[in-house]
């Protein structure tokens, strides 16, 4: 009774704008932390006020980003049974989502602009674009206002001020995320720079408005479920014209950590287009050769192509050093000398766990066993986690699956194959600072200079280990026609079919792909621009027995080494139909036995004809009559080169 009275009092405060400004609305759990809402700028206060009126939370807590607060959030999650401490490791936790909330949901992801063609390319009548979903903003607002109405009842609304990129860097941007999920607060605390220090820089910056709710209000006295979500009403919505994001119904990171895909890719790519820079789905890696020459590369790969492994590469060629700057997103701007400089806007790794092991990614294995939240991996009886691809557990260790089924280890090999212990999209969420080989400039406010961009995909056939584009326009074409086998990171994708994923941005475009291509092409017109070279790589080619013919992982450095020597102007490339490939003997395969160079670089006329036919059909379907002319000219030139094979 008393609790109810207090709640309605608090609610009253939330409802009355004037009082909201006066009140420091605390939290049942976090009474000693948080900052007063009064310290926020009037713009932020009114944003919070409007959303609080709609969502009707019981309380509001403005995050200060302190250690004490972070501890309190974790305690809260453990008390509610939503996180479990993993005694085998140092300060690590385990979370299990609802089975229906394990991945990004692309069909319910929208970009809302006043003109449809600003969000997605026009298609012919009856053809549904695969490059994003659009809805008119007022129509979407109406639907979302209904969903959000009262959605935070019985919960706390957390206000998270966060910076994408080093705080105060001219390349960084600020967001304010409202959420009713403590799991999201804990994860945002790892993935972004949050709290008081961001608020202190806020005055001069505009901010991206982000509202997230799990969409599961609690009536007074109602018991919460272990993983609140509302998959039936899920919507992840970007409004680029208003710098605003609204996400409803999911707690899964890709849908709920709004700084990541929603802001740093969808919204930021539209800001980047307006301001003349790039926000891309790319890793950033520093490589230093044995002579001490250091270069930075960026790489765009669709999910599940080993992007995190490449970002954390362990060199196999003696004398090389590889240091990470970022594993998922790059924001790149020209400096005064015309060089593209990149920052990693994130502050943590939200990596796919399965497949990570001491061989594939030893540095990740050194990073993730402290201060990390694991989601949907399997759990072990010795207080740890396990996933497919990780080194085997000790014989007496019992494995509980991500869905809570015990003794998975006792299943037959076939049953284990058919019901993986960890969800294929299970994740680790770990602070980037723990990475043992971070580049010294990883947080430089000026970013790092990019010399080469790598595009790639998971292609079992057709595409050679590496080829170099012959010009910037050709490089943009190479990015535009990227394809890869599908992934578990998206809930609605079938695996094992080869899908188009231009620039690895298909799920993340914040504006029309036509305008995106025009923007990329226009960069070469910038006076004094010193553009990076563009390469395409494929680590995943298979032989006729279905076995990979390139060892991959750390050995990929050999391929990058060749590319960097091309950046130095070495005469080590021969023309081929697809692009420039290594002259025989110029790719360093010293000490590598059994590598079939011919198979790795073979370009088969029939396969390539099929491939370009498919590319042409894709452009005709997705961008009828809108493919920028220089790119159609590249496609025609490629067809011509293939016809002469
Ligand atoms: C990711 C993805 O989660 O690309 O990084 O899907
Ligand atoms: Mn990604």
Ligand 1 touching residue 254 (CB < 6 A): yes
pLDDT score of 494 more than 90: no
Instruction: Give the active site residue among 305, 439, 458, 512.
Output: 305
pLDDT score of 496 more than 90: no
pLDDT score of 300 more than 70: yes
Closest atom of ligand 1 relative to the 427 alpha carbon: 3
Closest ligand to the CA of 109: 1
Instruction: Give the active site residue among 93, 162, 239, 252.
Output: 252
Which three-class secondary structure state does DSSP give residue 500? strand
pLDDT score of 32 more than 70: no
Instruction: Give the active site residue among 82, 281, 339, 474.
Output: 281
Whether 281 is catalytic: yes
Q: Render pLDDT for 76-97 as a digit per residue (tens, 0 to 9).
A: 999 999 999 999 999 999 999 9
Whether 305 is catalytic: yes
**Residue identifier of the C-alpha nearest atom 1 of ligand 1:** 303
**Residue identifier of the C-alpha nearest atom 2 of ligand 1:** 303
Ligand 1 touching residue 328 (CB < 6 A): yes
Burial class (CB within 10 angstroms; exposed 0-12, middle 13-18, buried 19+) of 168: middle
How far, in Å, is the centroid of ligand 1 from the Cα of 7? 39
pLDDT score of 329 more than 80: yes
328 closest CA partner among 300, 355, 356: 300
Whether 328 is catalytic: yes
Instruction: Give the active site residue among 209, 212, 307, 427.
Output: 427
What is the model's pLDDT at position 34?
Answer: 75
Ligand 1 touching residue 489 (CB < 6 A): yes
Ligand 1 touching residue 305 (CB < 6 A): no
Mutate to test the pocket of ligand 1, among 352, 375, 427, 428 (most ligand atoms within 8 A of CB): 352
pLDDT score of 13 more than 50: no
Using pLDDT thresholds of 50, 70 and 90, give the confidence band for residue 23.
very low
DSSP assigned state of 241:
G
How far, in Å, is the centroid of ligand 2 from the Cα of 281? 6
Answer with the residue of higher pLDDT: 496 or 138: 138
Instruction: Give the active site residue among 61, 261, 379, 565.
Output: 261
Whether 252 is catalytic: yes
How far, in Å, is the centroid of ligand 1 from the Cα of 467? 25
- Please, are residues 130 and 506 in contact by the beta-carbon 8 Å criterion? yes
What is the model's pLDDT at position 469?
Answer: 98
Closest atom of ligand 1 relative to the 352 alpha carbon: 3
How far, in Å, is the centroid of ligand 2 from the Cα of 252? 14
Instruction: Give the active site residue among 101, 328, 451, 611.
Output: 328
**Residue identifier of the C-alpha nearest atom 4 of ligand 1:** 303
pLDDT score of 406 more than 60: yes
Around Cβ 15, how many Cβ atoms within 10 Å? Answer: 14
How far, in Å, is the centroid of ligand 2 from the Cα of 222? 37
Whether 427 is catalytic: yes
Closest ligand to the CA of 256: 1
What is the model's pLDDT at position 306?
Answer: 86
What is the model's pLDDT at position 487?
Answer: 57
What is the model's pLDDT at position 485?
Answer: 86
Lowest mean pLDDT among 4-8, 309-313, 340-344, 633-637: 4-8
What is the model's pLDDT at position 398?
Answer: 97
Please provide the average confidence, as pLDDT, over all residues in the chain.
92
Closest ligand to the CA of 424: 1
Using pLDDT thresholds of 50, 70 and 90, give the confidence band for residue 491.
low
What is the model's pLDDT at position 6?
Answer: 34
What is the model's pLDDT at position 212?
Answer: 98
Percent of the chain with pLDDT over 70: 93
Closest ligand to the CA of 283: 2
How far, in Å, is the centroid of ligand 2 from the Cα of 408? 30
Please state the φ and ψ torsions of residue 126, each to the nearest 5 degrees. 85, -10
505 closest CA partner among 296, 255, 330: 330
Closest atom of ligand 1 relative to the 104 alpha carbon: 6
pLDDT score of 594 more than 90: no
Report the DSSP pairing between strands 348-352 and 427-431. antiparallel
pLDDT score of 264 more than 70: yes
pLDDT score of 489 more than 60: no
pLDDT score of 18 more than 90: no
Could you tell me the maximum CA-CA distance found in the chain, to the nearest angstrom?
Answer: 83
Using pLDDT thresholds of 50, 70 and 90, give the confidence band for residue 146.
very high
- Please, are residues 618 and 500 in contact by the beta-carbon 8 Å criterion? yes
Closest ligand to the CA of 329: 2
Whether 303 is catalytic: yes
- Residue ranges of E strands in 389-485: 399-400, 427-431, 448-456, 466-468, 483-485
Q: Mean per-residue pLDDT for 516-536?
A: 97
What is the model's pLDDT at position 40?
Answer: 86
Contacts 24+ apart (CB under 8 A), 640-645: 641/577, 642/577, 642/605, 642/608, 642/609, 642/612, 645/577, 645/603, 645/605, 645/608
Whether 618 is catalytic: no
Domains and CATH numbers, the chain: 2-104+147-233+243-275 (3.40.449.10), 279-348+439-643 (3.90.228.20), 350-432 (2.170.8.10)
User: Which residues, at least 6 apart from 245, have a Cβ–Cβ distance to it below 8 Å?
Assistant: 208, 209, 210, 211, 212, 236, 237, 238, 239, 258, 262, 263, 266, 267
Mutate to test the pocket of ligand 1, among 106, 236, 255, 261 (most ligand atoms within 8 A of CB): 261
What is the model's pLDDT at position 565?
Answer: 98
Which three-class secondary structure state does DSSP give residue 202? helix
Using pLDDT thresholds of 50, 70 and 90, give the confidence band for residue 9.
very low
Q: Mean per-residue pLDDT for 36-59?
A: 91
Closest atom of ligand 1 relative to the 302 alpha carbon: 4
Measured distance CA(249)–CA(247) in Å, rounded = 7
Helix runs in 260-370, H state only: 268-275, 307-311, 362-367
Using pLDDT thresholds of 50, 70 and 90, give the confidence band for residue 510.
very high
Q: Mean per-residue pLDDT for 296-303?
A: 94
Closest atom of ligand 1 relative to the 303 alpha carbon: 4
How far, in Å, is the centroid of ligand 2 from the Cα of 428? 13
Q: Render pLDDT for 164-215 as a digit per residue (tens, 0 to 9).
A: 999 988 899 999 999 999 999 999 999 999 988 898 887 666 899 999 999 9
Using pLDDT thresholds of 50, 70 and 90, give the confidence band for residue 298.
very high
Q: Mean per-residue pLDDT for 104-117?
A: 96
Mutate to test the pocket of ligand 1, among 187, 257, 260, 303 (most ligand atoms within 8 A of CB): 303
């Amino acid at each position: 009774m008393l609790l109810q009275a207090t709640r309605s009092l608090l609610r009253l405060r939330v409802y009355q704008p004037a009082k909201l400004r006066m009140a420091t609305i605390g939290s049942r759990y976090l009474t000693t932390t948080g900052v007063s809402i009064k310290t926020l700028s009037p713009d932020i206060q009114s944003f919070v006020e409007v959303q609080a009126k709609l969502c009707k939370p019981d309380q509001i807590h403005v995050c200060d980003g302190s250690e004490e607060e972070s501890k309190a959030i974790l305690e809260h999650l453990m008390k509610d049974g939503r996180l479990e401490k993993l005694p085998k490791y140092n300060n690590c936790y385990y979370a299990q989502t609802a089975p229906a909330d394990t991945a990004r949901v692309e069909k319910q992801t929208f970009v809302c602009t006043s003109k449809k063609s600003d969000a997605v390319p026009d298609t012919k009548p009856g053809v549904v674009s695969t490059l994003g979903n659009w809805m008119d903003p007022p129509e979407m607002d109406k639907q979302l206002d209904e969903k959000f109405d009262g959605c935070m009842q019985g919960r706390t609304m957390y206000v998270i001020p966060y910076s994408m990129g080093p705080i105060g860097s001219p390349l960084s941007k600020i967001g304010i995320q409202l959420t009713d999920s403590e799991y999201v607060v804990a994860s945002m605390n790892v993935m972004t720079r949050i709290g008081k220090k961001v608020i202190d820089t806020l005055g001069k910056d505009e901010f991206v408005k982000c509202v997230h709710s799990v969409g599961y209000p609690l009536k007074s006295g109602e018991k919460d479920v272990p993983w609140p979500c509302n998959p039936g009403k899920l919507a992840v919505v970007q409004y680029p014209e208003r710098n605003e994001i609204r996400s409803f119904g999911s707690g899964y990171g890709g849908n709920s950590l709004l700084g990541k895909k929603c802001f740093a890719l969808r919204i930021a790519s539209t800001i980047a287009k307006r301001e003349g820079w790039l926000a891309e789905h790319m890793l950033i890696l520093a490589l230093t050769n044995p002579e001490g020459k250091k270069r930075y590369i960026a790489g765009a790969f669709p999910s599940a192509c080993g992007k995190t492994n490449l970002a954390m590469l362990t060199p196999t060629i003696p004398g090389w050093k590889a240091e990470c700057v970022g594993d998922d997103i790059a924001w790149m701007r020209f400096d005064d000398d015309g060089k593209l400089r990149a920052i990693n806007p994130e502050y943590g790794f939200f990596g796919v766990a399965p497949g990570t092991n001491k061989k594939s990614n030893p540095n990740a294995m050194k990073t993730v066993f402290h201060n990390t939240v694991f989601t949907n991996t399997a759990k072990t009886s010795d207080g740890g986690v396990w996933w497919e691809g990780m080194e085997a557990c000790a014989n007496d260790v019992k494995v509980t699956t991500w869905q809570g089924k015990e003794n998975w280890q006792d299943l037959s090999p076939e049953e284990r194959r058919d019901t993986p212990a960890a969800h294929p999209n299970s994740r680790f969420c770990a602070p980037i600072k723990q990475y043992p080989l971070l580049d010294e400039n990883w947080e430089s406010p000026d970013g790092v200079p990019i010399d080469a961009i790598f595009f790639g995909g998971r292609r079992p056939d057709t595409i050679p280990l590496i080829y170099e584009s012959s010009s910037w326009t050709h490089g943009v074409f190479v990015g535009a026609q990227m394809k890869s086998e599908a992934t578990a990171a998206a809930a609605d994708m079938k695996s094992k079919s080869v899908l188009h994923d231009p620039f690895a941005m298909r799920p993340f475009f914040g504006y029309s792909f036509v305008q995106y291509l025009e923007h990329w092409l226009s960069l070469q017109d910038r006076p004094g621009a010193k553009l990076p070279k563009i390469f395409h790589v494929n680590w995943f080619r298979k032989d006729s027995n279905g076995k990979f013919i390139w060892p991959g992982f750390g050995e990929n450095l050999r391929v990058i080494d060749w590319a960097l020597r091309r950046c130095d102007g070495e005469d080590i490339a021969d023309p081929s139909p697809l692009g420039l490939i290594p002259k025989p003997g110029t790719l360093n395969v010293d000490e590598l036995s059994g590598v079939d160079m011919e198979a790795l670089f073979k370009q088969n006329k029939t396969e390539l004809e099929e491939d370009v036919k498919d590319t042409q059909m894709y452009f005709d379907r997705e961008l009828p009559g809108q493919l920028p002319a220089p790119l159609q000219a590249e496609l025609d030139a490629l067809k011509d080169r293939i016809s002469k094979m």
